[in-house]
Structure 1
Amino acid sequence: MNRIHQLDADTANKIAAGEVVERPANVIKELVENSIDAKASKIDVLVTEGGMESMTIIDDGIGMSHEDALMCFSRHATSKIKDDHDLFNITTLGFRGEAIPSIASIAKFSLETNDGHEGSQVIYEFGNRTQVGYLDCPQGTKITVEKIFQNVPARLKYMKSVNAEFAAIYTYLERLALAHSEIAFSLSHNGREIFRTNGSGQLLEVIAVIYGMNVAKNMIPVDFGNEEFSISGYVSNREITRASKNHIITLVNHRYVKNKKSIDAINDVYRQYLSDKRFPIAVINIEVDPYLVDVNVHPAKLEVRFSKEQELHDIITQGINAVLKPQEPAETIHQEPSQPFVFQTEKVQEEPFVFKEPIQEDVIELNDEPVYDQMTLDLREDEKVADEHADYQKEEKTSLKDLPQNPIKEKIYAKGQIRGSYIIGENERGMYLVDQHAALTRIHYERYKNAYQKLDRHMQSLLVPVTLEYTPSEFMRLEEHKNELKAVGIELEVMGPHTYCVRELPMWMDMSDPTSFIEQMIEQILSNQQLDVIELMEEAIKSLANQASIKDNTYLSQQAMQAILDDLMRCDNPYVDIKSHPTFVFYSDYELEKLFKKVN
């Protein structure tokens, strides 16, 4: 008996639906893209219960004839391409002919369309055609999808909450609106209009609708390219940042895609201007000959491949650099020539290094306490941080210097210092060259970690409340997860449309940049739908350790150097710093003699 057989059409469509349709947002994506390809100037999306109850897409496009209305339910039936040669010259958003039959196989699907000559209606229920006829309707197309996944229980149980599913729809419609500012989009949920653009063709107006007027006012237009690539759009200035790359939006011939090379090119330029873990907002469209880009590499058509990807990367880097450079403050530009970095070289030439004590004002004395205690190990008692960032509640706390200390693993005797950055030490085993900054970050890291093993539930009121503004779709998702943030001490107070206010923070948080730290927590919620407090605390402790450590080119007294070496050797892991870089290098007596060729 033959084992291999042809699958029936319904089973094949359900398999295809597994690739094309994972959630209601995928249905909206496929059908709205069809409306765009149909040259619609107005697209309305109506959603009930996050799309799990019903979704309706209405457009004023060219519509379909009665024959085409029937044909579109057949697999791989499309008006976008005719043969394999067209795959290398795709100018439409859709082209595979899989979306409509796949959706119709896992939902109730109603199609009403008019091509300007006659109106037609076709209804399918879970893969079976139940009604065909003619209908009096305006030109364009109206599609209603109901009861999605009702015949696929395994897929249905993986659906998220109503708000989460609608937020995914909202997010993708925002991307389509940015890609097609010439189309008037509207989105309604449970009978209430949530989102609308006017279709004026002004990208900046769409950015204002999504991100708010404050962001729109701080966006910089870009327009550059060469004979093969033309890049246009907007990028944010240095003051407007976000906690993830999700707001770097790349479009290729007005198709929303996630092109890693282009995103990285934009991000790399901003790295010289923004702090760590801060990213710009950018919306750029890359116009390119369809023959130079392959859009048929991803089931959802969210990735593309360029034939000249490195060239595109270089063009974006140069173009964004040219836009951002003129923003440099004039005083900075004038200061650079007058303060060339040559003072160290001149000093070395005039005063050769002879292990003499540096001038008194550059030396940090101990005054019977370790150097890092003088620099206020306990961040909660740091007056500078308190003055700049918060008004701490008066709660009894344990100072880091009151914690029990481990025994010294190995005694190293401080002998001198090089360039204010490296401590020379020795013992009976040999010589040590210690990176003083790396050593101190390790010392502070372990002390902070021991001190804050448990979350401090005491709260501190902020002198200046932190305000956080999000896109409407992000705001919806955060509303669903506010309790998770509240459980760790972050209470989001609604302050206005899509805006939150935070008035107090838990004691364990990194107060050097509270806004950035809160945004990192919220980004975890937006990206992963969960909050990893342990990971965030680890990042906070590393940041505190780095801030408390003295920088390079800082000269220390003999007593301060000895204190660093002693406390380093009390650490559980004295060998690497918080970035896994070595804290010291060791030369045994034999290795030293070998360096000078005294032994073989």
Structure 2
Amino acid sequence: MAIIKRLDEHLTNMIAAGEVVERPMGVVKELVENAIDAHATYITIRITQGGIESIEVEDNGVGMDSADALLAFERHSTSKIASQSDLFALHSLGFRGEALPSIASVSKTTLTTSDGNESTFVQIDYGTRTMVRPHACARGTTLRVENLFRKTPARLKHLKTAQYEGSLIIDLIEKFALCYPEVAFKLISDEKTILETSGNGQLIDCIARTLSNPVARLAREFSAADYDFTIEGALILPSESRSNNKGIFIFINHRIIRSWQIQKAILEAYRPFLSPDRFPILVMHIRMDSSLVDVNVHPSKWEIRLSKEQQLYFLIVDQLSAYLRSYMAAPAIKLTQTQERVVQDPLFSVDHPDLYPQNPVNYEVREEKIEARDTDLPDQESQNANVFPHLEVLSQLHGRYILASASDGLYIVDQHAAKERVNYEKFQDLLLHENASVQTLTVPILIETKASVIARFDELQTLLKKLEIHLEQLSGNSLLVRSLPIWLHDVDETAFLKDLIDSFESQRTITLEKVRQDALASLACHASVRFNQALTRQEMANILVELSRCRQPFNCPHGRPTFLKISSEQLLKEFGR
């Protein structure tokens, strides 16, 4: 008796749906890609309850005749490729012929389409065609998906809240808009317009509409090429950065992709301009011959394989670094008349040579001795005495590290990480042991954020209210903060709140405890001395004393080490003694 059986088409479509359609966002991605492949210049996306209840994508593309409308729901039916050679020379987003039959197998799907000559309406209920008829409509295609996963409760159960699923769709459409600035996108969620772009082809305008006007004002366009690759897009000046990598957008041949290697190259280019715990905001379009990229890696089409990846890496690092250096060059100082009156004294003249020395800073080790110890140590510092045995400040290296000596060797202390640890524990004690006094701000703080954050505003507002941070939603993607806890007075409140919102955005689900931890880590970071900040010898000594008193002095809140020890034995060995 035969044991192996051929699966019927409906079952194979449902299996394929497990890879192609993981959640409502996956449905939207496939339908929007189909619209773009149909040369649409205007695409409207409507979702209800985060896409769980319904998704509708309408476009003004080329449309289909009745024969193609029916064939589109047959598995492995596609207009994108016809031979093996086409698979390695793809110019379209879709090519598998799996998306529509997979979606139709797990939902109630209706298709209305016209190629300008013939109009067709097709209805499919969970894999079964129930209606086909002529239907008058304008040229283009409208696909509506309802009750997704209703007949597969295990899949439905694992979806998150409607707010969260909706935020993923918003985030996806923002990526499509940045990838295709020449296409006008409109996203409507629960009858409310969330996002709308003009389709005028201007990337900076698209950045303003998706990432906010303040980000767009800091955007600078770039373009470079070598024999195989062309890179272009817009970089955001390092004065605006994020606490995670959600602001890095990478597109290859007009395809949204994820690539750690390309992201690594971008981070390397930004490294001299950002502290290690910050991430840049950047939109990068990469063009190459389709033979150099393999997109047939996974049905979701997020992952790719690249040929000549190292060549592309160095092109990005070299050219992006050059653009950043040129944009970050100090502008010429122009004195106003008021300023000129202030500097009449020759001592303060801009021509005074002593005020503007041209020689590099010399980090000289002086003979004065400052010890980073007290004679009367608290208990915690006594426990850490073996970690910091009588440290003596030597100097500061590159404005980043404190060099200190001890009887057992040389200590190199990361000044930012060390101060982060000190501040983290200080704010932790304030948060846990002091009453949460609230201060009303004289000037409320206005924060421009993304539509995907606004979609989860109720969740964000509830969590931050427990930290005595009170948010209000204004029109568009604007948030207003009128009051803050008193323990925030020593930091840049706006930067701190942006980081906290970044952290919230990157979490699928988030608890109050997680918000507290992220708030403390961000707070400690913003209150700390920075890289490339000159310190006096006494300031360096104070940092060492404070670090020695910490409960956990070895790492900053983000996990990076606070110091490196080179033992006396290791030094003797290295010098052959």
Counterpart check, 1:530 vs 2:530: no
Deviates further, 103-112 or 519-528: 519-528
Structure 2 match to 1:290: 290
Structure 1 match to 2:24: 24
Is contact 1:43–1:60 with CA below 8 Å preserved after alignment?
yes
1:257 CA drift (Å):
1.5
Q: Deviations over 1:434-456 (max 9, x none)?
A: 56778986994797388447264
Is contact 1:437–1:552 with CA below 8 Å preserved after alignment?
no
Which sections of structure 2, spanning at least 5 residues, go unmatched? 334-349, 397-401
1:291 CA drift (Å):
0.6
Structure 2 match to 1:484: 463
Secondary structure of 2:76's counterpart equals coil
Q: Deviations over 1:363-405 (max 9, x none)?
A: 7699xx959x9xxxxxxxxxxxxxxxxxxxxxxxxxxx9x766
Is contact 1:408–1:569 with CA below 8 Å preserved after alignment?
no
Equivalent position amino acid for 2:89 in 1:
N
Q: Deviations over 1:256-297 (max 9, x none)?
A: 222222223223222322344333332221111111111112
Report the number of matched residues: 544
With normalisation by structure 1, the TM-score equals: 0.78
1:31 CA drift (Å):
1.0
Counterpart check, 1:231 vs 2:208: no
- CA–CA distance in structure 2, aligned partners of residues 440 and 228 of structure 1: 45
1:120 CA drift (Å):
1.9
Is contact 1:44–1:186 with CA below 8 Å preserved after alignment?
yes
RMSD, aligned α-carbons: 4.2
1:189 CA drift (Å):
2.6
Structure 2 match to 1:394: none
Q: Deviations over 1:561-582 (max 9, x none)?
A: 8x99999887766788884455
Structure 2 match to 1:387: none
What are the residue-to-residue correspondences of 1:184-583 with 2, within 5 Å? 184-327=184-327, 328-330=329-331, 338-341=357-360, 343=362, 357-358=367-368, 370=374, 407=382, 418-419=394-395, 431=408, 433=410, 444=422, 448=426, 451-452=429-430, 454=432, 456=434, 457-462=436-441, 465-509=444-488, 511-528=490-507, 529-531=509-511, 532-533=514-515, 535-536=517-518, 539=521, 543=525, 547=529, 555=537, 579-580=560-561
Equivalent position amino acid for 1:329 in 2:
A
What are the residue-to-residue correspondences of 1:2-17 with 2, within 5 Å? 2-17=2-17
Distance of aligned partners of 1:273 and 1:11 in 2 relative to their CA distance in 1, 3 Å threshold? same
Distance of aligned partners of 1:364 and 1:304 in 2 relative to their CA distance in 1, 3 Å threshold? same
- CA–CA distance in structure 1, aligned partners of residues 498 and 210 of structure 2: 18
1:37 CA drift (Å):
0.6
Structure 1 match to 2:125: 125
1:214 CA drift (Å):
3.3
Secondary structure of 1:272's counterpart equals helix
1:183 CA drift (Å):
2.0
Which sections of structure 1, spanning at least 5 residues, go unmatched? 349-355, 374-400
Greater C-alpha Rg? 1
1:513 CA drift (Å):
3.3
Secondary structure of 1:241's counterpart equals coil
1:81 CA drift (Å):
0.7
Equivalent position amino acid for 1:516 in 2:
A
Secondary structure of 1:271's counterpart equals helix
Work out the percentage of aligned pairs sharing the same amino acid.
34
Structure 2 match to 1:152: 152
Secondary structure of 1:536's counterpart equals helix
Distance of aligned partners of 1:552 and 1:253 in 2 relative to their CA distance in 1, 3 Å threshold? closer
Secondary structure of 1:300's counterpart equals coil
Secondary structure of 1:22's counterpart equals coil
Structure 1 match to 2:163: 163
Secondary structure of 2:479's counterpart equals strand
1:357 CA drift (Å):
4.2
Is contact 1:481–1:525 with CA below 8 Å preserved after alignment?
yes
1:415 CA drift (Å):
9.8
- CA–CA distance in structure 2, aligned partners of residues 135 and 187 of structure 1: 25
- CA–CA distance in structure 2, aligned partners of residues 519 and 174 of structure 1: 19
Is contact 1:370–1:564 with CA below 8 Å preserved after alignment?
no
Deviates further, 11-20 or 217-226: 217-226
Is contact 1:56–1:143 with CA below 8 Å preserved after alignment?
yes
Is contact 1:114–1:137 with CA below 8 Å preserved after alignment?
yes
- CA–CA distance in structure 2, aligned partners of residues 440 and 526 of structure 1: 28
Structure 2 match to 1:385: none
